Amino acid sequence: MSAVKIKAAERQEQVQAWINLQQANRVLEGLLEHRLRANADLSLAEYEVLFRLHLAADRPLQMSEIATQLINSPSGTTRIADRLENDGFITRATPRDNRRVVRVTLTERGRRALEKADEVFRGALQESFAAHLSASDIAELRRLMRKLLEGNGAWSEARCSPGTASPTAS
């Protein structure tokens, strides 16, 4: 086989791998979103905000930190926070000394909602993801995803390994 044909075949494989990555992401997100909405009345993004606030323990997260961790726009993050605040799951506060900062804290009601949603999420994740992969498959997938994120300057401990990063990492 000539070098040109090998390169064309490699390019085709790259495109197909990328398409499959996108498909797997959409399918899994759809399944998780459906299960969370049906059983916990939360979107996947709302669940993730509550989860990240829980991991931050008693340290409030800034809205900008949440947007960065979710890889979301500030306005999109604000819409998520609006719903969570309206439901009493979070509180937002602006310190007097810096009016540009908005700090978000998980409420007790939010903790209870997260407990229920977390059980739903972990069950759906087990059924749709972990049941189809071995522990070594998952470790290899995580290694490969980290390699892609690092290679594109998008890896950060706080975003990609929530709960293991120091509170000041972003």
Task: With respect to residue 135, please indicate whether it lies within any of the assigned structural domains.
Answer: yes
Task: Find the CATH number of the domain harbouring 45.
Answer: 1.10.10.10
Mean pLDDT of 14-24: 96
CB 34 within 8 A of CB 128: no
Tokens representing 166 are 């120091």
Position 24 pLDDT exceeds 80: yes
Report whether pLDDT(44) > 60: yes
What pLDDT sits at residue 163?
76
| pLDDT reported for residue 169 | 38
pLDDT at 3 over 80: no
Pick the closest to residue 50 from 36, 39, 31 (CA basis).
36
For the chain, give the mean pLDDT. 92
Q: What is the total count of domains within the chain?
A: 1
Give mean pLDDT, residues 145-165.
89
Domain assignment present for 166: no
Domain assignment of residue 49, yes or no: yes
Evaluate if residue 23 carries a pLDDT over 80.
yes
Asked whether residue 115 carries a pLDDT value surpassing 90, the answer given is: yes
Q: For position 162, what pLDDT does the model report?
A: 86
Query: Mean pLDDT throughout 37-49?
Result: 97
pLDDT for the residue numbered 1: 56
Provide the residue range defining the domain that includes 11: 3-156
pLDDT band for position 46 (cuts 50, 70, 90): very high
Residue 168 scores a pLDDT above 50: no
Helix axis angle, 74-86 relative to 44-55, nearest 10°? 80
Q: Position of tokens 């977390």?
A: 118
Q: How far apart are CA 74 and CA 88, in angstroms?
A: 21
Instruction: Look at residue 168 and tell me if it is in a domain.
Output: no
Task: Report CA torsion sign: 85, 55, 114, 25.
Answer: positive
The answer to the question of residue 36 being in a domain is: yes
Residues 6+ apart with CB under 8 A from 115: none
3-state secondary structure of 27: helix
Q: What is the pTM of this model?
A: 0.88
* Tokens coding 83: 């719903």
Backbone angles phi, psi at 57, to 5 degrees: 60, -125
Average pLDDT score over residue span 48-71: 92
Q: Is residue 161 part of a domain?
A: no
Domain assignment present for residue 137? The answer is yes
Whether 120 maps to a domain, the answer reads yes
